[in-house]
Amino acid sequence: MSTAPSLSAWLARRLGAVLLVLWGVSLVAFSLQIICPGDPAELILRTRYETPAPEKVAQLRQSMGLERPAHEQYLAWLGRVLCLDLGRSYRTGEPVAAQIAARLPATLELALASFALVVVLSTLLGLCAVWRRGRWLDRVLQPLSLGLVSLPSYWLALLLIALFALDLGWLPVAGFGGPATLVLPALTLGLGTAAMQGRVLRVKVLEALGQDYLRFAMAKGLSPARIVLRHLLPNALVPMITLWSMSLGSLLGGVVVVETIFAWPGLGRLLVESLLNRDLPLVQGVVLLMALAFVLSSLIADLVQRLLDPRLSVEGSGV
Amino acid sequence: MSAMELNELWVELPGPGGPRSLVRGVSLRLEPGQVLGLMGLSGAGKTLTACALSGLLPAPLRVAQGRLRLDGRALDLTRPQAWRGVRGRRVLLLFQGAGAALDPLMRVGAQISEALRQDRAMAAAQARQITGQALERFGLDSDAARRYPHQLSGGMRRRVLLALAWALRPQMLIADEPTNGLDAASRDEMSLMFTQLTRELGAGLLLISHDLRGMARWADHLAVMEAGRVVEQGRAGELLNRPSHPLTRSLVESLRYLEGGHA
Amino acid sequence: MSERRPGAGRVWAGGLLLALMALAVWAAPLLAPQDPLRVELGQRLQPPSAAHLLGTDQLGRDQLSRLLYGGRVSLLAGLAASGAALVVGLAWGVGAGLAGRTGDFLLMRTADVGLAFPGLLLALVLVGAWQGGMVALVTALALTGWAWWARLSRGLLREAKSREYVLGGRALGMGGWRLLGCYLLPQMWPPVAVAAAMKTGWIIVALSALGYLGLGIQPPHPEWGAMLQQSRLYMSRAPWLMLAPGGAVFLVVLACNLIAEGLRRRWQIREVRWL
């Protein structure tokens, strides 16, 4: 007897796990302060071009609460974070939350554009390969997609820039502005993932094609159109939708490099800049936000899969 | 309804050394309302015959030759296009393991209704009604239609297939090992339901099974296959009492052994 | 390709490619025509020629030599990080799979924290914060990867535990360690091998990505990612500069993926599902 838990019970359990994980993430983010060599107070003074005289450093340390024991500092920090106060940048003194909010839209734009690209392109690649299975298109697409998956995004970016921006002059080299500037970054970010998902889609559709329920649908006398639309596609798409939901999170990972190459004013570039400037609060803020987004996207992916597949959500007594 | 005749079915497998015939010139005759049992050892070609009779041979197998007479019309089995409009309406194949062949993402009732409405001008409400009747006829309760396949036990899923056959009313019903994996009592029950369905619909049932006892009990006619050919065919009673082919004789002997005693 | 063993072609192709590259970078002192650090301002940004097979960069340094020496670090660090992540993660996951409910819960929640950081994020931040050398780099990358291995090995172990022959072994009274060694672990090697090939390629890309961002191995020691980043600045004047380092990373990853694909076909493992 296999009983699937009700939706609310399942959701409650998952949320509990998510909260635990986020707590762990906060620990990691906080501990960056500890592993970062150097005195934060000295750091602040240096980045503001002030000489770190010992009295000034001590004074600053006191006001920042750096003399208190670690766990007290952590709790204070966590309390602030939960109130959405992410501290102030070492370098500029501006609130971190405001800076992050300012840069967020650019990253969202890039992520969504890449996501759309991933969905469309992977579907095309996967279905093409199945439709023309065994013929030359499929034979070419297989190694081609393996090559695309192996292509490092930063190299792909440079090649695309060299070809489309410098050689052909169709698209701008970098920068943030109209839709033309979005093309190359989105392409760079999404192409590798799209190729990978296309391969998986091909496998899933081929699997679905070999399933008995398709044969049975034919035996029942259903038209090919109906079989494809009502039986093949749903069964192939359910695992795909889960994968797509998960790829949204992993696109976040590639955002850092892509934004740097294309001078895209988003969170990824902010992170790299802050790391090079040793501006810890900004780093912590971005890390927290990205981890949160990633964890939530996995949760949504699981939720979506659960809602789409009755075998996961509806109580079953069958074998 | 008139008898259904299969003439000279040849199924071959293309290969590097030329095509290999796996079904050689099989001819069968099915009377309406009667059960024809197809027996033989594994690999004799029974399942391939069943698949060919519905245009569902797995690639790369193909029908080299064969005609099926249904309702006065002859179907050329070598042409896959012949099956549009015939499959599901005049011929229904319940292939081996079909109990697991229900789409896991669609409710059971919908899977019957969609077959009903295909190519027939039938309103959704009417299809639902017939589906409900069909499921009840085979002992499934009224909200079985709204269940998903994984919520039903194996036995219940097989009854869903019976309900489908009842709803679609084909002239020829082919059942490949419908009682596989069932215990003896359930086997008898399932065979009885199949037989009753056949008589009720006036259809011809081609029953493929390894269950010798069941065949002996329920089949009206029997055909024995070996290595792709039909080696003996006739009325069940005659075949079982006076088998002429060596294979038939050994099958009948094992049947006697099962029924008679272990002396 | 019709081979008696499916996938053998890919494994051989990938393996050969990887072996050639490893050999080339290992023999860098013999093969490199020049000192990779030698600056020759008179020879800046030269296109490929007989003297400099891959041209020179903006400081007149020979690209080929830098490529070979840079590869030593990339491959070595990549292998070390991948190996460390694999060993730690595997032990962690197997431990979780064998532990009771609480042990499993605690171990896997901790691994979940490791998995909560998308892609490069954790390695990036750790390297940026530590500012150490090679050791810090390898450790940071290993810390990025171990959790994935833990999740994978736990899943594989649980799957293996439920197989019939394991139940049979237990019915026969086989002890825990024997069960583990004879039945459970051998089941796991094929998917682990496939995943190891894939992940090694990924780690080498990550390593070079860090180099590109200026957070990897520090100059003047050559590194593929850093070379690529510099080639960006001179793209219009010297477009050939970006082909060699990027191509090198690409070939290494391609080789790893070919091996993974080949092994997958050989052992008919379904696509690894976790992330």
B145 in any annotated domain:
yes
Note the pLDDT tens digit of each residue in C101-152: 888 888 998 999 988 888 788 888 888 887 767 888 899 999 988 999 999 9
Query: For the packed helices A40-47 and A54-64, what is the interaxial angle rounded to 10 degrees?
Result: 110
Q: Which residues are paired to B75 by β-bridges? A: B68
Q: Do A213 and B101 touch (CB under 8 A)?
A: yes
Q: Which pLDDT score is estimated for C155? A: 86
C228 touches chain A (CB under 8 A): yes
B162 in any annotated domain:
yes
Name the residue range of residue B158's domain. 102-169
Rounded Cα–Cα distance for residues C204 and C213 (Å): 14
The amino acid that residue B187 corresponds to is R
Where are the extended beta strands (E) located within B145-248? 172-176, 204-208, 221-226, 229-235
Q: Do C121 and A256 touch (CB under 8 A)?
A: yes
pLDDT higher than 70, residue C271: no
The amino acid that residue C105 corresponds to is F
Query: Is there contact between A and B if contact means ≥3 C-beta pairs under 8 Å?
Result: yes
Query: Is there contact between B and C if contact means ≥3 C-beta pairs under 8 Å?
Result: no
**pTM, to two decimals:** 0.80
**For every residue of chain A, which 3-state class applies, written as one string?**
CECCCCHHHHHHHHHHHHHHHHHHHHHHHHHHHHHCCCCHHHHHHHHCCCCCCHHHHHHHHHHHCCCCCHHHHHHHHHHHHHCCCCCECCCCCCEHHHHHHHHHHHHHHHHHHHHHHHHHHHHHHHHHHHHCCCCHHHHHHHHHHHHHHHCCHHHHHHHHHHHHHHHCCCCCCCCCCCHHHHHHHHHHHHHHHHHHHHHHHHHHHHHHHCCHHHHHHHHCCCCHHHHHHHHHHHHHHHHHHHHHHHHHHHHHHHHHHHHHHCCCCCHHHHHHHHHHHCCHHHHHHHHHHHHHHHHHHHHHHHHHHHHHCHHHHCCECCC
pLDDT higher than 90, residue C51: no
Q: Do B105 and A217 touch (CB under 8 A)?
A: no
Residue to substitute from A33, A154, A188, A264, interface C, most C β-carbons within 10 A:
A154
Residue of A nearest to B118 (CA): A222
Mean pLDDT, all residues of chain B = 86
For residue A5, the Cα-to-chain-centroid distance in whole angstroms is 29
Rounded Cα–Cα distance for residues B50 and B129 (Å): 31
**Overall domain count for chain B:** 1
Spatial CB neighbours of C257, under 8 Å, sequence gap ≥ 6:
A146, A149, A150, C14, C197, C198, C201
Q: Which among A211, A229, A235 is positioned nearest to B118, based on CA atoms? A: A229
Q: Do C121 and A151 touch (CB under 8 A)?
A: no
Q: Where are the domains of chain C?
A: 78-218+245-271
Note the pLDDT tens digit of each residue in A22-45: 999 999 998 888 877 777 777 777
Mean pLDDT, all residues of chain C = 84
C207: pLDDT confidence band, cut at 50, 70 and 90?
Answer: very high
**Of C118, C124, C128, which is closest to A249 when you measure between CB atoms?**
C118
Tokens of residue A263, six digits: 């001078």
- Residue A247 and residue A118 in contact, taking contact as beta carbons nearer than 8 Å: yes
- Give the distance from residue C175's alpha carbon to the nearest chain A alpha carbon, in angstroms: 30
Rounded Cα–Cα distance for residues A60 and A44 (Å): 9
Q: Do C246 and A158 touch (CB under 8 A)?
A: yes
Query: Which phi and psi angles does A23 have, rounded to 5°?
Result: -65, -45
Q: Do A222 and B154 touch (CB under 8 A)?
A: no
- Residue A196 and residue A127 in contact, taking contact as beta carbons nearer than 8 Å: no
C4: pLDDT confidence band, cut at 50, 70 and 90?
Answer: low
pLDDT higher than 60, residue A2: no
- Terminal alpha carbon distance of chain C: 30
Q: What is the DSSP letter of C145?
A: H
Q: Which pLDDT score is estimated for B44? A: 84
A315: pLDDT confidence band, cut at 50, 70 and 90?
Answer: low
* Core vs surface per residue A35-66: b (16+ CB within 10 A) or e: ebeeebbebbbbeeeeeeeeeebeebbeeeee
The amino acid that residue A75 corresponds to is L
Spatial CB neighbours of B217, under 8 Å, sequence gap ≥ 6:
B188, B191
Q: Which residues are paired to C43 by β-bridges? A: none
User: C82: how many CB neighbours lie within 10 A of its CB?
Assistant: 25
Rounded Cα–Cα distance for residues C196 and C259 (Å): 10
Spatial CB neighbours of C207, under 8 Å, sequence gap ≥ 6:
C74, C77, C78, C81, C137, C141, C216, C225
C271 touches chain A (CB under 8 A): yes
% of chain A beyond a pLDDT of 90: 20
Partners for C (CB, 8 Å, 3+ pairs)? A
C78-218+245-271: which CATH number, 2.40.50.140, 1.20.1050.10, 3.40.309.10, 1.10.3720.10? 1.10.3720.10
Among C residues 129-158, those touching chain A with beta carbons less than 8 Å apart: 129-131
% of chain C beyond a pLDDT of 70: 95
Q: Do A318 and B54 touch (CB under 8 A)?
A: no
User: A226: how many CB neighbours lie within 10 A of its CB?
Assistant: 16
Partners for A (CB, 8 Å, 3+ pairs)? B, C
H or E element: which one contains B40?
A: strand B35-40
C255: pLDDT confidence band, cut at 50, 70 and 90?
Answer: very high
Rounded Cα–Cα distance for residues A171 and A176 (Å): 12
Residue numbers in A near C214 (CB within 8 A): 276
Spatial CB neighbours of C180, under 8 Å, sequence gap ≥ 6:
C94, C98
Q: Which among B204, B254, B191, B246 is positioned nearest to B224, based on CA atoms? A: B246
Residue numbers in B near A238 (CB within 8 A): 105
Residue numbers in A near C129 (CB within 8 A): 32, 35-36, 275, 280, 283
Spatial CB neighbours of A80, under 8 Å, sequence gap ≥ 6:
A86, A87
- Residue B28 and residue B206 in contact, taking contact as beta carbons nearer than 8 Å: yes
Tokens of residue B185, six digits: 């009592």
Q: How many CA atoms lie within 13 A of C24 on its CB side?
A: 18
Q: Do A162 and C242 touch (CB under 8 A)?
A: yes
Q: Report whether the peptide linkage leading into residue A234 is cis, meaning its omega lies within 30 degrees of zero.
A: no
Residue to substitute from B150, B152, B171, B206, interface A, most A β-carbons within 10 A:
B150
ipTM tops the 0.90 cut: no
Residue numbers in A near B97 (CB within 8 A): 212
Q: What is the DSSP letter of C62?
A: B
pLDDT higher than 90, residue B84: no
**For every residue of C75-137, which 3-state class applies, written as one string?**
HHHHHHHHHHHHHHHHHHHHHHHHCCHHHHHHHHHHHHHHHCCCCCHHHHHHHHHHCCCHHHH
> What is the sign of the dihedral through the CA atoms of C213, C219, C223 and C228?
positive
Q: How many CA atoms lie within 13 A of C86 on its CB side?
A: 19
Note the pLDDT tens digit of each residue in A106-140: 999 999 999 999 999 888 887 777 776 667 777 77
Q: How many residues does chain B have?
A: 263
Q: Do C124 and A272 touch (CB under 8 A)?
A: yes
A5: pLDDT confidence band, cut at 50, 70 and 90?
Answer: low
Q: Do C124 and A290 touch (CB under 8 A)?
A: no
Rounded Cα–Cα distance for residues A110 and A112 (Å): 6
- Strand-strand pairing, B4-13 and B20-30: antiparallel
Q: Any idea which residue has 């490529």 for tokens?
A: C67
Report the SS3 class of residue B179. coil
- Residue B56 and residue B6 in contact, taking contact as beta carbons nearer than 8 Å: no
Spatial CB neighbours of C88, under 8 Å, sequence gap ≥ 6:
C142, C146, C149, C150
Residue to substitute from A158, A271, A295, A302, interface C, most C β-carbons within 10 A:
A158
Q: Is B244 exposed, middle or buried, given 0-12, 13-18 or 19+ CB atoms closer than 10 A?
A: exposed
Residue of A nearest to B52 (CA): A219
Vertex A271: Cα angle to A267 and A274 (nearest 5): 130
C274: pLDDT confidence band, cut at 50, 70 and 90?
Answer: very low
B114 in any annotated domain:
yes
> What is the sign of the dihedral through the CA atoms of C25, C27, C33 and C36?
positive
% of chain B beyond a pLDDT of 90: 18
* Core vs surface per residue B43-53: b (16+ CB within 10 A) or e: ebbbbbbbbbb
B82 in any annotated domain:
no
Lowest-confidence segment of A85-99, A186-200, A296-310, C42-56 by average pLDDT = C42-56
Q: Report whether the peptide linkage leading into residue C220 is cis, meaning its omega lies within 30 degrees of zero.
A: yes
Residue numbers in A near B156 (CB within 8 A): 318
- Give the distance from residue B150's alpha carbon to the nearest chain A alpha carbon, in angstroms: 5
Q: How many CA atoms lie within 13 A of B27 on its CB side?
A: 5
Q: Which residues are paired to B235 by β-bridges? A: B221
Lowest-confidence segment of A114-123, B52-61, C32-41 by average pLDDT = C32-41
Q: Which pLDDT score is estimated for A312? A: 77
